[in-house]
Structure 1
Amino acid sequence: MAARIEHLVTSGTFSLDGGTWDVDNNVWIVGDDSAAIVIDAAHDADAIAEAIGDRRLVAVVCTHAHNDHIDAAPALAARTGAPILLHPDDLPLWKQTHPNRLPDGELTDGQRLSVAGTDLTVLHTPGHAPGAVCLHAPQLGTVFTGDTLFQGGPGATGRSFSHFPTIIDSIRDRLLTLPPETEARTGHGDSTTIGAEAPHLKEWMDRGH
């Protein structure tokens, strides 16, 4: 059976630099009837586990380590036995949320994760966070962009561990080079396509200066 993409929205809070905000997060599940990968275990381990059902969870993949994307990861891993994977550059952020529980494995640029006969290629896209990654699944015509690229522009870079010129470089060099019809499934809000966002790169750059 071919891999499919399932989508959950979970709600909770995002906290950084002394502030806390209410947020809705996209949780993406890629797999078939027997195995799955979770991208960003946000807020509600019970809801995510229910969506997985009796499938084998191959991995809990973190697009970055802001607390709203990883807060449910240890509980989900404990329930399923799945490893938590994170780019090592985001360990300082991870430790703010989970000081006593490290990820189980590292994500590296160009690494391939496989589930249900489908490969997801890790693209290191720093800027929103140092270890931010996107996951490109060409067989599904999709890239999971976390908080690197949204409908309407780049992820936020106004807080610690973030850098605007870096996120622009990541988007230009790693994402806008993908086929324009590639669907960008984001960490928050609606999906978009690479082709819809590419024409606006100069506007974003001008806005950032």
Structure 2
Amino acid sequence: MTFRIEKTVTSGTFSLDGGTWDVDNNVWVVGDDTECLVIDAPHDSTAIVDLVAGRTVTAILLTHAHDDHIDAAGSLFDQVEAPIHLHPEDRMLWDAVYADAGPDGDLADGQTFSVAGRTLTVLHTPGHSPGSCCFHLPEEGVVFTGDTLFSGGPGATGRSWSSFETIIDSITAKLLTLPPETVVHTGHGDSTTIGAEAPHRQEWIDRGH
């Protein structure tokens, strides 16, 4: 069976600290012809189910719990019946959207998820939010970074429960140590590589202070 990484883009809003913004989010589906897992559940569960295309979903992995990454998680769960996993340090953000039901499982640094003969490793990368996580797929030379690292630098840290110093530490320790050819699949916008981003670390720091 052919292993593949697929993406769809969904559109909606992100709300925090009294503001609301229009956003386009990437959804990543990783697997083969029979099974897959889904990374993030933004805005439109139907679009995600269409990409799944009848395969067994083994897990829904959330990079973090800002509402634009989880607002379709409940309906996606209802349609594919796969467990939702989130780092517990983002539970307050989850509870703001789903007050009556928690995720099915916690994420932890170093935890692994297997799908279609491949293994993803959880990298806890706080900063954009306390529970932000990335998912490293070394066999394919890929890391899914959510809103921790984008093409052009770190994710935003100007809102509640975020920290610029922490996100820089996370990126430095957990992401820039990956092979430079590693492809970075992000939560919004275009993909990049570790090698393309690493030389700009000091520029990010200078810009952020």
TM tier, shorter chain? Answer: over 0.9
Residue 196 of structure 1 deviates from its aligned partner by: 0.2
Question: 1:204 and 2:204 equivalent?
Answer: yes
Moved runs in structure 1, 4+ residues, more than 2 A? none
Q: What is the aligned partner in structure 2 of residue 191 from structure 1? A: 191
Question: 1-side partners of 2:201 and 2:2: how far apart?
Answer: 34
| 1:38-68: CA deviation from partner (whole Å, max 9, x where unpaired) | 0001100011111112100001110000000
Please give the root-mean-square deviation of Cα atoms over the aligned residues, in Å. 0.6
**Residue identity matched to 1:121:** T
Question: 2-side partners of 1:10 and 1:81: how far apart?
Answer: 20
Question: Is residue 2–residue 33 contact of structure 2 (8 Å, CA) maintained in 1?
Answer: no
- Secondary structure in 1 aligned to 2:120? strand
Question: Is residue 3–residue 115 contact of structure 1 (8 Å, CA) maintained in 2?
Answer: no
Residue 3 of structure 1 deviates from its aligned partner by: 2.1
Q: What is the aligned partner in structure 2 of residue 144 from structure 1? A: 144
TM-score by length of 2: 0.99
Question: 1-side partners of 2:208 and 2:96: how far apart?
Answer: 28
- Unaligned segments of structure 1, at least 5 residues: none
**Residue identity matched to 2:3:** A
Q: What is the aligned partner in structure 1 of residue 83 from structure 2? A: 83
- Unaligned segments of structure 2, at least 5 residues: none
Corresponding residue pairs, total: 209
Q: What is the aligned partner in structure 2 of residue 173 from structure 1? A: 173
Question: 2-side partners of 1:183 and 1:2: how far apart?
Answer: 19
Q: What is the aligned partner in structure 1 of residue 94 from structure 2? A: 94
**Pairing of 1:54-93 with structure 2 (within 5 A):** 54-93=54-93
Q: What is the aligned partner in structure 2 of residue 157 from structure 1? A: 157
Q: What is the aligned partner in structure 2 of residue 182 from structure 1? A: 182
Q: What is the aligned partner in structure 2 of residue 36 from structure 1? A: 36
Question: 1-side partners of 2:180 and 2:2: how far apart?
Answer: 23
More moved, 64-73 vs 93-102: 93-102
Question: 2-side partners of 1:179 and 1:163: how far apart?
Answer: 26
Question: 1-side partners of 2:85 and 2:166: how far apart?
Answer: 23
| 1:182-204: CA deviation from partner (whole Å, max 9, x where unpaired) | 00000000000000000000010
